Structure 1
Amino acid sequence: MLDTFCFLHYYIRGDSMKRKRILALILAILAVVLMSAPIISFAAVSTGEGEATLLQEGEFDIATGESVHYATLRSVSDSVAESVYNGLLAYADKIDVSALLCNVDEFDAYYSNIINDNPDLFFVSSSYQYYYSKVTGKVTAVVPQYAMSQEEVENAMTVFNAGAKRALSEVDDTMSDLQKALTIHDYICSYAVYPQIYDANGNYSSALDLDIYHSAYGFFKDYNAVCAGYTLTFSYLMKQLGIDCEYVSSGDMEHAWNKIKIEGNWYNIDITYDNADFIEAENTYGLAYHACFLKSDSYFQSENGLYHYNYATYDDCAANNTVFDSYFWDDVNSRIYTVEGNYYYLNPNYASQTAVLTKRTLSGTESALGTSMRAPTLSITRYAKDSSGTQHQIPHSEILTRLCYLDGKFYLNDYQNIYAVYPNGIQRTAFSGTGYLISLGTERGELLYQTYHNQSNVITIDKREYFKNSLVQYHLYPDVNNDGVVNGRDWGYIVQQATLNY
């Protein structure tokens, strides 16, 4: 171009009129080029529509898992992913992704990963639009769609953050990563309720299966969640604790669970299968199975692991370590608490239908605290299909004793009483009532329990101050003397049980 202009300058320098005409022509050509440039640029950009594959919208196919792994390996795109995440969190109308240099056919996986990997984006819809360059085929911007209004999102985030804060308050800095994972696992199991999504005939009902159940927001809002909700809740909390955690999904099983990295090894965790409320559709506080906690891939594919199959397994997060495939917590149905580095749990004896509060040190030394609790034993049949579609009936036993920890004391129950046990083993009766107790738990600093004959009869007993201060006005107490009336006589009966100040 420079040579051409030099030639023209030399050619016309001797003829003033010709020079003016040619210069005018050149300027006209330049003007046309400059005016058409934006049109050419605009014409090179087009739009398209995409559909992300999201756990929080009930997608369980293997591509979901693959999309997560695919994008997490692309460390070069971390800064762009952070920008997209922040844009979605801020309810942005349009987000620039030109720096990603991502092809159109790759963007679904990338966008899916960002949402799936950040459960606090529960309000983002799977549908979206995008801009891309016709010249390069690269996506330049994404236009998200949201499942909630901005005002609804602000209110929901307040609920979400409060729920996450409650869960995270269960752990402390003295715990190892394993103990933190165990504590959060048991917390979710203890409070989560698998909602009723089947009709009266036992058939799945899409009308009953609400979108909120598939998100972490569903758990943090009112504890209702299906497997995707459990999985995303655990993923989010592990991320807040700085623990590597992925999720696994199986389209054939229509199921999702987690993988977690502890001391350099990956393990499977299926909170859905460890939550007894998945079976009972009722919240039985304080109940937590551990048969699917920190298990290998081979274990998860067996009957003991309840036949997980046809799911995405990646080389760098394959769960090959079997150290926890047979471990002390396998038959423990109570919450396991970590206090000053030691484990406390109810050790069951199904032959005698008893359970005893047990302390286990990190070295594996176990000692019993207090006396054994006697309670009815339930025989439960669990159902699971293997990869061939064969239905298996798997027997399971459960003793109706529960354990919770409040204000420096353990509370546990037998079939009719609640006991307080100090970490040094001193045991005292905290409450004696009527009816079979089937659950025990804490909620916002209060002790709750349920009676066997009416599972909806959840009764709250306020903090233990009520057992040491007779001047406190009685309220919220059960009919402990079984006279059909809740009054001062019930309060007097409760005070009578307090043989020591707690």
Structure 2
Amino acid sequence: MKEKNFKRKFLAATLGALIVVNIMSLCDLSVVKLGNFSANLNSDEITTSVDDVTDETRESLKQDIIYALDNFETRIPLSDYNITTDVFSSIASEVLEQNPQYFYIAINSFTAGYSLNKYNSTGLFVASSATINYPENGDTEAIKNKINFVSETADQIISGIDDSMSDIEKALYVHDYLALNYKYDERIHSSDPNERSQSVFDIYNFFSQGTGVCQAYTTAYKYIMQYKLGIPSKMAISSSMGHAWNIIYVNGNWYHVDVTWDDPTPDMEGTVNHNYFLMSDEAMLANDHHDWRISDD
């Protein structure tokens, strides 16, 4: 019996030693302490909060993401940034919110991995790289067809705009065009989860189906204003309202524009309101809009 117990203890000790050796080899640790596992790899320099990211790092990473998307690359190196995967996800979300031309990519299309040999004292690892999983099974030609469709539809919408129009007139023209030619997707309020899941949130299906929820209106307006007309546009997002709208820069000031709420629901053909066109912060607060954040801030 004693011999069996001895063998068990010996095997357990040997296995434990092998595990420690394998961990050391895998993680390439410079300092290892049994019972108080730690590493000394300048790991305190890891940025664990998106609020702590420097402007230079944020802009550099955004440009890397944009370059990858523009060229349909599937991998973005991240190890030099010394950030966590959560920080990467936050900055990737900013890129998508600020650049409506990437409508075909969702935040869950990014998968960030981490490096096992760079982590801080609390066990948070440095993001090593991110992969991009493109829709359409990665068929870039199919994606380009959607991109072209959205671009051509937007060009058709602004074909009635001429150079003599002011930025305010252009903003009003696009506002009215969307409200008059598209309708709110009421499936979002359906009690049937299957019907509700068919609600349109993206600009491609908004343009192709002629209906969408506030996110679709907002993305379409931002795409046209910013990407086609060169008029600065941001997204205002209120989680407490479950709503989104635009903020545009005209005549030296930022103004709110809520095309969704200016489009009557149920749809009234030929009718468009202007209750939420070029509104100040104070006016929006006084008219049932609150707790918003701005996508580009």
Corresponding residue number in structure 1 for 2:68: 87
| Distance change (3 Å), C-alpha of 1:301 and 1:81 | same
Q: CA deviation at 1:259?
A: 1.1
- Partner of 2:256, secondary structure, is strand
Q: Distance in 1 between matches of 2:78 and 2:199?
A: 29
Whose radius of gyration is greater, 1 or 2? 1
| Distance change (3 Å), C-alpha of 1:113 and 1:211 | farther
The AA in structure 2 aligned to 1:288 is: V
TM-score, structure 2 as length reference: 0.71
Corresponding residue number in structure 1 for 2:278: 294
Corresponding residue number in structure 2 for 1:161: 151
Residues 326-405 of structure 1 aligned to structure 2 (within 5 Å): none
Q: Distance in 1 between matches of 2:73 and 2:111?
A: 13
Q: CA deviation at 1:99?
A: 5.2
Q: Distance in 1 between matches of 2:136 and 2:279?
A: 37
Corresponding residue number in structure 2 for 1:120: 101
Of 139, 146, 155, 2:134 maps to 146
| Distance change (3 Å), C-alpha of 1:261 and 1:95 | same
| Distance change (3 Å), C-alpha of 1:104 and 1:152 | same
The AA in structure 2 aligned to 1:248 is: A
RMSD: 3.1
| Distance change (3 Å), C-alpha of 1:293 and 1:238 | same
- Partner of 2:132, secondary structure, is strand
| Distance change (3 Å), C-alpha of 1:173 and 1:228 | same
Q: Distance in 1 between matches of 2:81 and 2:165?
A: 39
| Distance change (3 Å), C-alpha of 1:248 and 1:157 | same
Higher normalized helix content (fraction of residues): 2
- Residues 1:196 and 2:186 aligned together: yes
- Residues 1:215 and 2:202 aligned together: yes
Corresponding residue number in structure 1 for 2:218: 231
Query: Number of matched residues?
Result: 244
Q: Deviations over 1:167-221 (max 9, x none)?
A: 23232322222222111111111111112306xxx74443223567111112222
Q: CA deviation at 1:73?
A: 8.8
Instruction: Name the % identity.
Output: 26
Contact 1:274–1:292 (CA under 8 A) maintained in structure 2: yes
- Partner of 2:206, secondary structure, is helix
Q: Distance in 1 between matches of 2:52 and 2:80?
A: 15
| Distance change (3 Å), C-alpha of 1:131 and 1:72 | closer
- Residues 1:280 and 2:266 aligned together: yes
Q: CA deviation at 1:148?
A: 2.8
Corresponding residue number in structure 2 for 1:132: 114
Higher relative contact order (CA 8 A, sep 6+): 2
- Partner of 1:213, secondary structure, is coil
Of 257, 264, 269, 1:269 maps to 257
Q: Deviations over 1:36-75 (max 9, x none)?
A: xxx96x8469xxxxxxxxxxxxxxxxxxxxx8xx799935
Q: Structure 1 stretches of 5 or more lacking a match?
A: 1-38, 46-66, 318-502
- Residues 1:252 and 2:234 aligned together: no
Residues 414-493 of structure 1 aligned to structure 2 (within 5 Å): none
Corresponding residue number in structure 2 for 1:366: none
TM-score, structure 1 as length reference: 0.44
Q: Structure 2 stretches of 5 or more lacking a match?
A: 1-23, 30-49, 120-124
Contact 1:212–1:218 (CA under 8 A) maintained in structure 2: no
Q: Distance in 1 between matches of 2:233 and 2:130?
A: 27
| Distance change (3 Å), C-alpha of 1:86 and 1:168 | farther
